[in-house]
Structure 1
């Protein structure tokens, strides 16, 4: 394995970490109006992610930055070809972040209810569109010899994008429900467990369909194994929803890891397939930076990555206390201030 391959693996790990951590954030946001029946309950649900959501988004920034530095051609082609989808994701993430911080800035229940609606939308849109983005990457894009997209938005709204969106939104819903089962108490915890039990079959069916499509198009033994692992892990998570939420959460995390590995292994060493001609594919080696750049990046990662991981682990330890609706401040603060109140 050379440095280009190593950084391909590193970027896959970064995306996996982002989907694992931000996945339950999105799930909490989407479940907000379902599980939170009062303003106090919705405030308590937001407290569960109030101290960690912004740290979780750092994984996205690092994944995009690492792709830009290690594989500039891959970055440029992917972000220009999928510009509209990624722009919608960016706008939704901004709306979500503003909603989390501004929700508690007013005393009116109507004020908080409006920000709650934006929080739900800002969680749902990225949850769907990330699946659409990676569904298109798995299927391939109509790239010409200059690596320019020959098509429009209609070419991106295909069957792969639809099923990919169903995979991510249902998987994140289940992941979020199990996370809330671990972070809440009383009636909120009971509702979260019931929601997880009802959601459970949906990501199983979605992943079976998506993995079957990838396997039929360009699958290998590795994608069959990782895809099968994702399905088995989800079945186990569904079985654990009523009794052992902790194990169920670990299993949904395993499914996210396996599903992401399936996407990255499906066409390796190709990172962005062309549906026009395989000769126009973007691969790990024709897209990588110089060896000097990759060496510098490797040393920087070796020095700073352990520090960042240790800090994030400490953050989760600090905000590990279970939360009940009675702990939610009456008027609320920002998401971070509400999280501080729960410590």
Structure 2
């Protein structure tokens, strides 16, 4: 296996990790409006992800940096062609981080309500747009012989990509509802289970349609195996929610995301960004990669830094593993 193939796999792993982790905290952000009934319950939801949301975004930063260094042609074409949706995602992530930090800085109800609205929308919009972006990458976009994107923003809003956005939005919300049930106690935990079942059924229908469409147009044996794993895991997650087994349900909903994203990358390889105009103009792991020397240096750096990141992030989740409820929220917290 060549180093550019190795880095394609590593970047896929980074995106899988990002969607697994950021997926549930996007979902929790959406649930601050769909599940929480008052300010105290919204505070409980925010507190479930408070210690971990910023660490989850490290996976996105690393994936972007790795793409820039390992596949500069891919990075350049992707960020020029998808400039507007990626800019919207970036602005949402900035506002979202500020909202988490500033919500409790003042006690006024209007102040906190405004930041809660911001948390909801800046969780929902990226959760949808990531699916649209990856749907277009898999489907193929208008890339010319100079590896430049020659389409426009409206070309990105095609039925396949929009269905991909619906899948990520509903799947992340389901993942977040399961995480909420896993991390809370009392009535909010019970309602989180019911919400997970309702959203999970919608996610299952949308995901099944999207994965079958993907397999029919771009799939092979490897992607078919990943699709089967994703579908079985999602059904198992719904069954575990019904039985009140939140731990198993969270593991299986996470496996659904892992398998679904893996399927997308399996359908891509050896392309990194297919051209819908001419297959010969597609960006591949070979024509979009950096020099072998650059990839070799990156491999050594990744081998040293990655275990450290995994250790400190695992430690964070272990320290903040206990359940919380409304009785843990003091009146002064508002």
Measured after TM superposition, the shift of residue 331 of structure 1 is: 4.1
TM-aligned CA deviation for residue 170 of structure 1: 0.6
Cα distance in 1 for residues equivalent to 2:34 and 2:204: 21
Q: Which residue of the partner structure matches residue 9 of structure 2?
A: 9
**2:105 aligned with 1:144, yes or no?**
no
What is aligned with 1:48?
48
Is the contact made by 1:15 and 1:60 (CA closer than 8 Å) also made in structure 2?
A: yes
The answer for the alignment partner of 1:282 in structure 2 is 283
Q: Deviations over 1:233-271 (max 9, x none)?
A: 111111111321111111111111111111101131011
Rounded Cα–Cα distance in structure 2 between residues aligned with 1:291 and 1:54: 33
Partner of 1:210 in structure 2? 210
Count how many residue pairs are aligned between Structure 1 and Structure 2: 333
Matched, 1:135 2:138: no
**Residue number in structure 1 paired with 2:231:** 231
Q: Give the alignment of 1:277-316 within 5 angstroms.
A: 277-316=278-317
In structure 1, the gaps of 5 or more residues are 334-343
Structure 2, gaps ≥5 residues long: none
Quote the offset at 1:329 in angstroms.
3.5
Q: CA RMSD in A?
A: 1.0
- Partner of residue 256, structure 2: 255
| CA contact 1:106–1:331 (8 Å) conserved in 2 | no
Tell me the SS of whatever aligns to 1:200: helix
Q: Is contact 1:105-1:332 (8 Å) kept?
A: no
1:116-156 deviation per Cα after TM superposition (whole angstroms, max 9, x unaligned): 01100000000000000000001000110011222211111
User: Quick one: distance in 1 between partners of 2:297 and 2:332?
Assistant: 49
What does 1:1-343 correspond to in 2, within 5 Å? 1-242=1-242, 243-332=244-333
User: Retained in 2: the 8 A contact 1:28–1:45?
Assistant: yes
Q: What per-residue deviation string (whole Å, max 9, x for no partner) do you get for residues 263-294 of structure 1?
A: 10113101100000000000001111111111
Paired with 1:86 and 1:199, the residues of 2 have a C-alpha distance of 26
SS of alignment partner, residue 207 of structure 2: helix
1:147-176 deviations in whole A, cap 9, x for unaligned? Answer: 122221111100111110011001001100
Q: Distance in 1 between matches of 2:332 and 2:146?
A: 56
Decide whether the 8 Å contact of 1:82 with 1:133 is kept in 2: yes
Q: Secondary structure at the match of 2:247?
A: helix
Conserved? CA contact 1:40–1:326, under 8 Å? no
TM-score by length of 2: 0.98
- Distance in 2 of aligned mates of 1:59 and 1:131: 17
Cα drift, residue 202 of structure 1: 1.3
Deviation at 1:29, TM superposition (A): 0.3
Instruction: Tell whether the 8 Å contact from 2:96 to 2:122 is kept in structure 1 after alignment.
Output: yes
Q: Please give the alpha-carbon distance, in whole angstroms, between the structure 1 residues aligned to 2:267 and 2:187.
A: 42
